Structure 1
Amino acid sequence: MKGMLFLTLAILLEIFGSTMLKLSDGFTNLVPSIGVAVGFLSAFTLFSFALKSIPLSVAYAIWSGAGTALTAIIGVLVFGESFGALKISGLFLIIFGITLLNASSQKAAQDEG
């Protein structure tokens, strides 16, 4: 349970860091540039804590999938990026892939136990 909390916080901080990266304008704006460093350093620290109790394949799938999906949504809502059928389909495929990885990990744990 603690691992999932660390992973959730890591994802949120990674999204913050990615958003700040866009706002930093190639590291020419100081405050967003500092936000990039704080966001990503904090995210990777918390991700490493999550890996103490969550298998790497599952944690990384959730990290990358949720980060990608949520960052895409922020791109649409904050930066006015397009959000067409192809992008929506891609996000659903990411979520489906994460679900499959979680299911296979849980099945493997049951088979071992």
Structure 2
Amino acid sequence: MICYIYLFIAILAEVFSTSLLKISEGFTKIFPSILIILGYIVSSFFLSLALKDIPIGIAYSSWSGFGIVFVTISGYFLYNQKINLIEIFGIILIITGVLIINIY
């Protein structure tokens, strides 16, 4: 069970870092750039811990799939990016795919 906590931390760290990419302005702002690098290091570290017990295909599909969903949500709240019905449908398909991979 701890492996899924590691995976969740990895996902959150990746979403944190990816969400900061816009305000780093192409890595020209030092503080956000440092946070991005640290976040990706944390994400990779915890993903590697999760991989001790979770098969790589399942872990990576969860990491990337939920990362897409959470980054889309963070873009909506942080940057006022709009989400239309087609994008919501796509997010539902991503979540469904990740759940199917994890269940079966």
TM band (smaller chain): over 0.9
SS state at 2:14 partner: helix
* Equivalence for 1:66: 66
Counterparts of 1:85-100 in structure 2 under 5 Å? 85-100=85-100
User: Which structure: larger Rg?
Assistant: 1
TM-score (structure 1 length as normaliser): 0.89
* Equivalence for 1:54: 54
Which amino acid in the other structure matches residue 17 of structure 1?
S
Unaligned stretches of 5+ residues in structure 1? 105-113
The CA deviation at 1:28 is 0.9
Which amino acid in the other structure matches residue 12 of structure 1?
L
For residues 100 and 8 of structure 1, what CA distance do their matches in structure 2 show? Answer: 18
Structure (1 or 2) with the greater helix fraction: 1
For residues 14 and 30 of structure 1, what CA distance do their matches in structure 2 show? Answer: 18
For residues 49 and 26 of structure 2, what CA distance do their matches in structure 1 show? Answer: 30
For residues 64 and 56 of structure 1, what CA distance do their matches in structure 2 show? Answer: 12
The CA deviation at 1:57 is 1.3
* Equivalence for 2:26: 26
TM-score (structure 2 length as normaliser): 0.96
Determine which structure has greater relative contact order: mean sequence separation of CA pairs < 8 Å that are 6+ residues apart, divided by chain length.
2
**Over aligned residues, Cα RMSD in angstroms?**
0.7
